[in-house]
Amino acid sequence: MVSKFYYEAKKRSSARGPKQLKRQRTAALQDLAEEVARNPSRQRLGVRLSSAALTPVRCQAERVKNSRHSASLNRRLRILEPAVLALVCFLSLAQFATISVGQQTSAPPTRAEILKGALTPERTCYDVTSYNLDLRIDPATKSLKGSNKITFKTVNDFTRMQVDLWSNLPISKIIFDDGKDARFTRELNALFVELPEQARKESVHSVTVFYSGVPVVAKRAPWDGGFTWDHDDEGNPWVVVTCPETGASIWWPNKDHASDEPDNMAISITVPPGLDEISNGRFKSKTVLPDGWVRYEWFVSYPINNYCVTFNIGKYAHFSDEYISADGEKLSMDYYVLPKNLEKAKEQFKQAKTMMAIFEKYFGKYPFYRDGYKLVECPHTGMEHQTCVAYGNHFLGGYRGRGSSAVGLKFDFIIIHESAHEWWGNSVTMRDIADMWIHESFGAYAESLFVEDQYGHDEAIKYINAKKGNVRNGPPNHRGIWPLSKKRPGHV
Ligand SMILES: [Zn+2]
């Protein structure tokens, strides 16, 4: 039942620009999702898929053939072995089956769910163009303080808008257009801003939210949301954040709905002396402030989904490499690990370059050349943070040394799977959290392409067959949200 709210009021745009191109790609995938959802066979798993069931995928490839990422995907879909293609649909249909169950059996959505999932007029009235997040994070008090400036284009005239920020984080003030105070009210994890004057259609404005507080601590990162306040073996703070299901409003104010992403984002994180900080995008500057704390500035020059915005605070060793695409473009590859793991990482992370070549071959060029690619060691297993992939696989094969098949132990699952999300999840993003299957099923499919390319077709089939048990047909959690696996790790 919640899903119908998630599906309503989808935005389409014919305008050009990075955000619009991304929306067009994502909209095309959404069409595929809806076509598959209408197919009655989605209700039953384990059925052999007819060629008719595969048609939407092929149509999809045709429809998006002009996009830079889809040209090679389209070629790939045409030459795929039927069994491999069936897996894509199988995984996809599995997720739709869970959504369908939710639609039939769940209770009416709660107010909290509507505030989180619905595209209300207070959300659709504006289109985010940029975020400027500026935070000081203190590991000693496990607290944060700072602001986020939300710059937006107005879709229609309005004076009231919804922004999202969890209720445990107090707001001191909100400033409209860098000048006047704006009044606001809070309801659960939403916040309604009353602008001091009407924002007229097709104009550009900003609101800056100043806030502070003690953010939620993740109980079981990366699957639940929140901060991880950890230490390395030398006692240095090691602090990261994850929020794939809860959403980014668990730690910073934003329009927390997958349908809207900024065109770009500035991230400034200030940390205690002696610590490093790594965020998404390109490193801009490091400034030692008068009180000795250090401010790191990063800039994301592409649209970014809110839950992938991240920071990594710790004492890191850094090394780098360069990848050159088939057409000669250079991509910076930067790696940040705990100093004790430097030599292991230099060996293990060679797989990232192999991954890059294989995925570029099948899916088109890496989507974020301007911003580069990074792997950053983290205390949990991993997360697909855009251009700043969190890595916690202990430099082992498989999933921390485990795997459902022998071939699965031959490569580092986290490097391959989380990086696949750069294409499937970060470049092509769900417009609604109910469709997170787009990220995960195509991420899983990408693994099989990597195996096929590296170890051959037979091994790829064995790999796929060994993963069948991961396809679930259970009810959705959070009523309508596609469930990220909690029982079977490795599928975030
Ligand atoms: Zn994943």
Q: Secondary structure of the chain in the HEC alphabet?
A: CHHHHHHCCCCCCCCCCHHHHHHHHHHHHHHHHHHHHHCHHHHCCCCCCCHHHHHHHHHHHHHCCCCCCHHHHHHHHHHCCHHHHHHHHHHHHHHHHHHHHHHHHCCCCCHHHHHHHCCCHHHHCEEEEEEEEEEEEECCCCEEEEEEEEEEEECCCEEEEEEECCCCCCEEEEEECCCEECEEEEECCEEEEEEEEEECCCCEEEEEEEEEECCCECCCCCCCCEEEEEECCCCCEEEEEECCCCCHHHCCCECCCCCCCCCEEEEEEEECCCCEEEECCEEEEEEECCCCCEEEEEEECCCCCHHHCCEEEECCEEEEEEEECCCCCEEEEEEEECHHHHHHHHHHCHHHHHHHHHHHHHHCCCCCCCCCEEEEECCCCEECCCCCEEECCCCCCEECCECCCCHHHHCEHHHHHHHHCCCECCCECCCCHHHCHHHHHHHHHHHHHHHHHHHCHHHHHHHHHHCHHHCCCCCCECCCECCCCCCCCCCC
* Residue 247, phi-psi category: left (phi > 0), alpha (psi -120 to 50), beta (remainder): left
Is the bond into 222 cis (omega within 30 degrees of 0)? yes
Distance 125 CA to ligand 1 centre (A): 32
Cα separation of 286 and 166, whole Å? 29
- In this prediction, residue 471 carries a pLDDT of 73
- What's the whole-model pTM score? 0.81
Write down the residue that tokens 């916040």 correspond to: 191
Kindly provide the b/e burial profile for residues 432-467, where b requires at least 16 CB atoms within 10 angstroms of the residue's own CB.
bbbbbbbbbbbbbbbbbbbbbbbbeeebbbbbbeeb
Distance 192 CA to ligand 1 centre (A): 33
Distance 94 CA to ligand 1 centre (A): 15
Q: What are phi and psi of 308, to 5 degrees?
A: -90, -10
Q: Tens of pLDDT along 273-287?
A: 999 999 999 999 999
Cα separation of 245 and 248, whole Å? 9
- Where, residue-wise, is CATH 2.60.40.1730 in the chain? 120-304
CATH: 2.30.30.100, 1.10.10.10, 3.30.565.10, 2.60.40.1730. Which one for 120-304?
A: 2.60.40.1730
- In this prediction, residue 477 carries a pLDDT of 54
- In this prediction, residue 293 carries a pLDDT of 98
Distance 492 CA to ligand 1 centre (A): 4
Distance 224 CA to ligand 1 centre (A): 14
Distance 122 CA to ligand 1 centre (A): 31
- In this prediction, residue 109 carries a pLDDT of 84
Distance 380 CA to ligand 1 centre (A): 14
Distance 186 CA to ligand 1 centre (A): 33
CB atoms within 10 A of CB 68: 12
- In this prediction, residue 107 carries a pLDDT of 74
Distance 255 CA to ligand 1 centre (A): 23
Instruction: From 359, 484, 465, 354, select the one nearest 408 (Cα to Cα).
Output: 465
Distance 453 CA to ligand 1 centre (A): 20
Distance 367 CA to ligand 1 centre (A): 17
Distance 452 CA to ligand 1 centre (A): 19
- In this prediction, residue 481 carries a pLDDT of 53
Cα separation of 189 and 455, whole Å? 48
Distance 491 CA to ligand 1 centre (A): 5
- In this prediction, residue 21 carries a pLDDT of 59
Distance 443 CA to ligand 1 centre (A): 6
Cα separation of 266 and 394, whole Å? 31
Distance 207 CA to ligand 1 centre (A): 33
Q: Are 418 and 390 in contact (CB under 8 A)?
A: yes
- From first to last of the 492 residues of the chain, give the pLDDT tens digit: 122 222 222 222 233 455 665 665 555 555 554 544 444 333 222 222 222 333 333 333 333 333 333 334 433 433 333 333 334 333 333 333 333 333 444 578 899 989 999 999 999 999 999 999 999 999 999 999 999 999 999 999 999 999 999 999 999 999 999 999 999 999 999 999 999 999 999 999 999 999 999 999 999 999 889 999 999 999 999 999 999 989 999 999 999 999 999 999 999 999 999 999 999 999 999 999 999 999 999 999 999 999 999 999 999 999 999 999 999 999 999 999 999 999 999 999 999 999 999 999 999 999 999 999 999 999 999 999 999 999 999 999 999 999 999 999 999 999 999 999 999 999 999 998 878 888 988 999 999 999 999 999 999 999 999 988 777 666 555 545 555 444 443 333
Q: Tens of pLDDT along 129-153?
A: 999 999 999 999 999 999 999 999 9
Cα separation of 158 and 221, whole Å? 39
Distance 437 CA to ligand 1 centre (A): 9
* Residue 378, phi-psi category: left (phi > 0), alpha (psi -120 to 50), beta (remainder): beta
